[in-house]
Structure 1
């Protein structure tokens, strides 16, 4: 596979709206496996309000579009402060969301977006990028492993 390259840029307000709608719908879909849908929706919307109180202009957060060499939008990402570290002293950042648009999946753009996000946070003095991934998202897990990510903690669940 040819190594893809992307350029990251700040989302426009319309792109932010579409990305938020997509992220929230996906999060509700996942959480609805273990919570009633209404509770899942409230939890997801509360999370957006908590982490992005100023939306697109929330300080410390990067809400990014990824464009390929032809200038096509191939995906997006949200990178911000690591919620597991005290603000101001954090040496790591957090990948809250990454999305490769359907026509560009399985072409190397996920790795390209990760590499560009890593370069961005490194330029800010961060030394690590953390993230969460849903346990049954095999494609995402494979992407992260291919790109050198390791399990830092694990939470398991069994329905009884």
Structure 2
């Protein structure tokens, strides 16, 4: 595995808008395997509104762009309190989103962004970093497993 490093910086308002649009489209695409398309889009938008009520200024949430050594944006991430824990008292963080730009994939930046997110998590005083990944996202599953993440829970489904 390539030993890349990245620096995380806060997203600009324009980056936030672009990233939010991309994230909601990707989430809706994944959800559309289980829900009607319009409902999937609505759920994706509702997730953003629920977890980021103040957009990029939502307290406790870090919406960051990952830059390589040359200062080129290679991806982005959203880290915040674990939504499964009590609001305001979360001991764990949650990786809501990790994205590597297409032209930067397969070059070690996913692992580098993950390491930087873990470092941010530790600096904030959180003791663990959790995440959720859709079962069909084999690349993401491989990334997380290669970086020491283990399945904590599994949800299965069968259409009848």
- TM-score, normalised via structure 1 length: 0.98
What is the SS of the residue equivalent to 1:69?
coil
C-alpha separation in 1, matches of 2:82 and 2:5: 25
C-alpha separation in 2, matches of 1:23 and 1:90: 24
CA-based RMSD of the aligned residues comes to: 0.8
Q: Which residue of 1 aligns with 2:104?
A: 104
C-alpha separation in 2, matches of 1:58 and 1:89: 16
Q: For residues 82-93 of structure 1, what are the structure 2 equivalents within 5 Å?
A: 82-93=82-93
What is the SS of the residue equivalent to 1:26?
helix
Q: Which residue of 1 aligns with 2:137?
A: 137
C-alpha separation in 2, matches of 1:130 and 1:65: 19
- Does residue 75 in structure 1 map to residue 45 in structure 2? no
The unaligned stretches of length 5 or more in structure 1 are none
What is the SS of the residue equivalent to 2:93?
strand
Q: For residues 60-71 of structure 1, what are the structure 2 equivalents within 5 Å?
A: 60-71=60-71
What is the SS of the residue equivalent to 1:19?
helix
C-alpha separation in 2, matches of 1:100 and 1:79: 15
What is the SS of the residue equivalent to 2:21?
helix
- Does residue 151 in structure 1 map to residue 115 in structure 2? no
C-alpha separation in 2, matches of 1:55 and 1:90: 20
What is the SS of the residue equivalent to 1:95?
strand
- Does residue 38 in structure 1 map to residue 38 in structure 2? yes
C-alpha separation in 2, matches of 1:52 and 1:6: 25
C-alpha separation in 2, matches of 1:106 and 1:68: 14
Q: For residues 107-118 of structure 1, what are the structure 2 equivalents within 5 Å?
A: 107-118=107-118
Q: What is the Cα deviation at residue 2 of structure 1?
A: 2.9
Runs of 4 or more above 3 Å deviation: none
C-alpha separation in 2, matches of 1:2 and 1:84: 33
The unaligned stretches of length 5 or more in structure 2 are none
